[in-house]
Amino acid sequence: MSNLDHGKFTRVTTLFHSLLGLDVFLLFFTGYAIMFNDELWWMLTLMGGASGVTAIHRITGIGLVALVVFWITLQIISPTGRSNFSKILPSKGDVDAFIQDIQFVLGRADERHPSARQFAGYKADEVPLLSYIGKGVVFIFSIELTLLAISGLLIWSKTGLAAMFQTKAAAMAFVTFHGLLGVIMLMGVMFHIFEHGMHPAFYPVETKAFIPRSMVPEHHGDDDEEPDTTGIERLSLSPSWRTVSTVFGAMTVIGIVSVLIGSIFDEGYPVPRELAIGGGPSSILLTIGINLGMVVLGVGLVLSMYGNVLRIRWEQQLEAEREPSTAADGGEPQTDGGQPKSDDNEN
Amino acid sequence: MTDRDDLPEVNGYSRVSVLISTVVGLAVAGLALFWAQGFRLGYESLYRVSPSVEGGGIGSDWVFGNTIPALDFLIALIHAADVILGAFILVMVFIHWAAFQRLADQMREPDEDVSEAVAADGGSRARSDGRGGDGA
């Protein structure tokens, strides 16, 4: 019996995740149109040049502050938030999961560690709320978003910053700090998109973050029977998976490497007075690579929207099935509340 | 949205918590906007560096103007963090990529179930599930 490890999020979390994703993507597109302005000149131009881009960046930045503060407050004041906190603390199981993941890749383990499973042959309760990667994402993204919001606000009020640190160079150091910190997050988000988009069982997007747990019917058929396997052998691979995952994986790697190299070069105050194509130490390869990285982000944006479409579709199907007059037609396996969900692989 | 009595217990967030958090979030964002704008006196252009400036380029102002060694160190630190974390993230990508390949190998090939002796239950081929083919 297979069981999908989705529906771990609450409705508030899924909505928050989508809003945060949208906001952060806009911040990335504008922020890196500024930082990598010689490689992403077209993006800078499309968004109205330096002034247009910085305006959008600030509006979305304020949105980020609202979202971050909302989330921190919610985690503190609600019992759910406080109880979830203990579940995201790193544990020995996470180290074991990392080691077993490597062994799995090398063929020395048959399965991924339960703490690393996104597709698991266990009841939802038996699989941890978050994998070790998920915990890392929560911690790293939380710290980075907070630091980015603070440094961003300091940069915004740069006369205040200059007064605080006495020199213009100090103010510029904050800009550099802000941009380089963002690069770490940019690379992490590319990985995040790859990880949740290219899992063969969930391709093209894992719905965990879009379909809230309250909407996921759980299997009650044979509770006594413990699953022997993950059940993945029952799933059919999507015909396009091998090609798409290979192309997208390559794009992810190229994108990460390129923004990493680009960030090493672009260390100064990144906004020139005049738009200068090739004004920095750019090269054709770096330009292509950084643009590929932006395509990876674009795919992430599309997948995020697609995840929301799937939720709406799921809601409609659930509603239809709950109409007493509607006979269960067995048409869509996802809505088979009482059926094993071994076939939910597509989503 | 209709009855969900048969669905599992879910520890959601209460409406009050969400409402309070929303108000706090918007209030802080509003204050941040007020604070940041309060300092904005039109000096934006003061800090622009022209790439064609003599003897310089993007970032030259920072390199030559900085007199605080601690800031140099911080920038070097964040550069190092970029490289180290970037390498780590790449390792994670490769681990997952390879793990996904292994998982895919365990799955049925796209056209495999067509020739199965046990027919699928009428679902589309891609989501054909083997519900009727447990022995497979």
- Identity of the residue in B24, B40, B136 whose CB atom sits nearest the CB atom of A70: B24
CB-based burial label for B110 (10 Å; 0-12, 13-18, 19+): middle
Instruction: Return the percentage of chain A with pLDDT > 90, whole number.
Output: 22
Quick one: B70 and B95 in the same domain? yes
Specify whether B65 is located in the same domain as B41.
Answer: no
Q: Give mean pLDDT, residues A91-120.
A: 76
Angle at alpha carbon of residue B100, lines to B99 and B103, rounded to 5°: 90
At residue B14, the pLDDT reads 86
pTM of the model: 0.76
CATH architecture of A11-219+236-322: Up-down Bundle (1.20)
Q: Is residue B2 part of a domain?
A: no
pLDDT band at A321 (very low <50, low <70, confident <90, very high): confident
Evaluate whether B113 touches B133 at the Cβ level (below 8 Å). Answer: yes
List residues bridging with A236 in a β-sheet: B108
What is the count of structural domains for chain B? 2
DSSP string, chain B: ----TTSPP-----HHHHHHHHHHHHHHHHHHHHHHHHT--S-GGGG---TTSTT--TTHHHHHH---HHHHHHHHHHHHHHHHHHHHHHHHHHHHHHHHHHHHHHSBPTTGGGG-SSPP-SS-TTT---TT-TT-
Number of neighbouring beta carbons within 10 Å of residue B51: 20
Q: Are A71 and B19 in contact (CB under 8 A)?
A: no
Would you say residue B119 lies in a domain?
Answer: no
Q: How far is B11 from chain A (nearest CA, A)?
A: 6
Residues B18 and B43 in one domain: yes
Tell me: do B39 and B71 sit in the same domain.
no
The Cα B44–Cα A36 span in angstroms is 19
A202 or A298: which leads in pLDDT: A298
Choice between A251 and A232, residue whose per-residue pLDDT is larger: A251
Contact at 8 Å (CB) between A237 and B109?
yes
For residue B41, being part of any structural domain is answered with yes
Domain containing residue B36: 10-47
> How close, in Å, is residue B70 to chain A by CA atoms?
10
Q: pLDDT class for A275, splitting at 50, 70, 90?
A: very low
pLDDT at A324 over 70: no
Q: Are the C-beta atoms of A169 and B71 separated by less than 8 Å? A: yes
Chain B hits for A110, Cβ within 8 Å? none
Q: What is the mean pLDDT of residues A272-301?
A: 72
Q: Which of residues 42-61 of B touch A (CB under 8 A)?
A: 43-52, 57-61
- In chain B, what residues touch A109 (CB-CB under 8 Å)? none
pLDDT in tens, A187-236: 999 999 999 899 888 888 888 788 887 777 655 445 445 555 566 777 88
Say what the pLDDT of residue A171 is: 65
Is pLDDT above 80 for A59? Answer: yes
Least confident of A57-66, A130-139, A162-171, A233-242: A162-171
Question: Does the distance separating the beta carbons of B108 and A233 come in below 8 Å?
Answer: yes
Shared domain check, B99 and B65:
yes
Q: What residues of chain A lie within 8 A of the CB of B2, using their CB?
A: 319, 322
- Residue A44's pLDDT band, with cuts at 50, 70 and 90, is confident
Closest chain B residue to the Cα of A79, Cα to Cα: B13
The answer to whether residue A296 scores a pLDDT higher than 90 is: yes
Q: What is the ipTM of this complex?
A: 0.78
Give the per-residue pLDDT at A88.
Answer: 78
Three-state secondary structure call for residue A58: helix
Cis bond before residue A324 (omega within 30° of 0): no
CB A8 within 8 A of CB A129: yes
Chain B partners within 8 Å of A279 (Cβ): 51, 57-58
Structural contact between residues A189 and A28, judged by C-beta atoms closer than 8 angstroms: yes
Residue B126 lies in a domain: no
Q: How far is Cα A126 from Cα A103, in angstroms, rounded to an integer?
A: 22
Structural domain includes residue B99: yes
Say if CB A39 and CB A282 are below 8 A apart. Answer: yes
CA-CA distance, A279 to B91, in Å (whole number)?
Answer: 32
B65 part of contact set with chain A, CB < 8 Å: yes
Q: CB B82 to CB A330 under 8 A? A: no
Specify the pLDDT at position A98.
84
Contact criterion met (CB < 8 Å) for B48 and A157: no
**Contact between A256 and B79 using a beta-carbon 8 Å cutoff:** no
**Residue where the block lists tokens 């911690």:** A139
Residues 95-134, chain B, touching A (beta carbon < 8 A): 95-100, 102-104, 106-113, 121-123, 125-131, 133
pLDDT at B88 over 80: yes
Higher-scoring residue by pLDDT: A327, B108: B108
Q: What angle do CA A53, A61, A281 make, to 5 degrees?
A: 45
What's the confidence (pLDDT) of residue A116?
Answer: 64
pLDDT at A25: 94
pLDDT at B41: 44
